[in-house]
Amino acid sequence: MTTKPNIRDLSLEELEALIVGLGKEKYRARQIMKWLYAGGATTFAEMTTLARDFRSRMEGITRIVEPAIDRILVSQDGTKKLLFSLEDGLFIESVLIPGRNHWTACISTQAGCAMECRFCLTGRQGLKRNLQPSEITGQVTMLRRHTPEGPQIKNIVLMGMGEPLANYNHTVKAIRILTSDFGLGFSSRKITVSTCGLAPKIAQLGKEVCVNLAISLNAPDNERRDVLMPVNRKYPLEELIRACRDYPMPGRRMLTFEYILMAGLNDSPADAEKLARLLRGLHCKLNLIAFNEFPGSDYRTPAPEAISAFQQILLDRHYTAILRASHGRDILAACGQLSGHAPSFA
């Protein structure tokens, strides 16, 4: 038995081809997309601008499936962590981070992750599978439905579970739906892809979609980055920084480098100096994040004085270096703490 395709996995072009194949007008694809994304339709019955027999035919050959919200945890700081269940029983997590008048949605692109970054809870579980485009965009549509009133979701960061560029095709397809007028209508300036450093894919992304880029850096030299982030053995810092220099950021926006400070490992004044030299000449900002300890983690949070001294060295060298407050620490929703495990919601 073949499973009917999930219509939410299709690009506009794929849906147009399917509809033309049924002998219907191509523009019907846009109408369906609008019902799905702007209209929030979850059944063909709701798509009342389409003829009844056409809706039945579509229902006969496709299905409409989104991830389902299984549980929600709310942090003391207002951050919400949502556990989603997928059709095959896997779980993934998204995080809603409160801003002054908006939410930022941090979404996942894979169930688990193969990149094995040593400081990351997701990396410990290995890769279960890539998410489908519908499972990536579906987190946003479900989060929107969860926040119907009050502040809206303005920013989307692909920084949850998984390495977005290791699920490249589905991530790009999802970004096209997130940013198109027939889809969710987000500005590409409001979307950020975060990568551990798959240099060739960074170049490809720059050519295909114009979104903000964040690099999870975490070490100022290859020696330590090789240990902390095994991806560095394949794409060392020189190659990564070259790809960053060539990346066409939207407008005059800055690249972001995320740097998780770990006590005694990468947080010394000498490390800050080295980092400043590494990034010299790049139009970038640095997000400094104190390591979020989790049960069984090998690394420790640095002392506040060490963090301030590190930041000051970068500021003195005219970098924009922001100390990021970690949101949702009490519910394991902060950077590197997502596991997609139902038990972490118990």
Binding site for ligand SF4 (CB under 6 A): 113, 115-117, 120, 122-123, 161-163, 196, 216, 336
Distance separating the N- and C-terminal Cα atoms of the chain: 37
| Letter string b/e over residues 247-263, b meaning 16 or more CB atoms within 10 A of that residue's CB | bebeeeeebbbbbbbbb
Alpha carbon distance 150, 152 (integer Å): 6
Between 31 and 125, whose beta carbon lies closer to ligand SF4?
125
Between 29 and 198, whose beta carbon lies closer to ligand SF4?
198
Selecting among 66, 93, 135, 163, the annotated active-site residue is 93
| Total count of residues recorded for the chain | 346
Q: Which residues are CB-neighbours of 37 under 8 A, at least 6 positions away?
A: 137, 141, 177, 182, 183, 184, 185
Between 18 and 159, whose beta carbon lies closer to ligand SF4?
159
Alpha carbon distance 155, 291 (integer Å): 23
- Asked whether the CA dihedral 38, 39, 43, 46 is positive or negative, the reply is negative
Between 113 and 178, whose beta carbon lies closer to ligand SF4?
113
Minimum distance from residue 46 beta carbon to ligand SF4 (Å): 36
- 335: annotated active-site residue: yes
Selecting among 106, 113, 244, 335, the annotated active-site residue is 335
- 59: annotated active-site residue: no
Minimum distance from residue 208 beta carbon to ligand SF4 (Å): 20
Minimum distance from residue 169 beta carbon to ligand SF4 (Å): 18
Minimum distance from residue 143 beta carbon to ligand SF4 (Å): 19
Alpha carbon distance 340, 316 (integer Å): 40
Helices (H), 7-76: 12-21, 28-37, 52-61
Residue nearest to ligand SF4 (CB): 123
Between 157 and 249, whose beta carbon lies closer to ligand SF4?
157
Q: Are strands 102-106 and 91-98 parallel, antiparallel or unpaired?
A: antiparallel
Minimum distance from residue 226 beta carbon to ligand SF4 (Å): 14
Active site residues: 93, 335
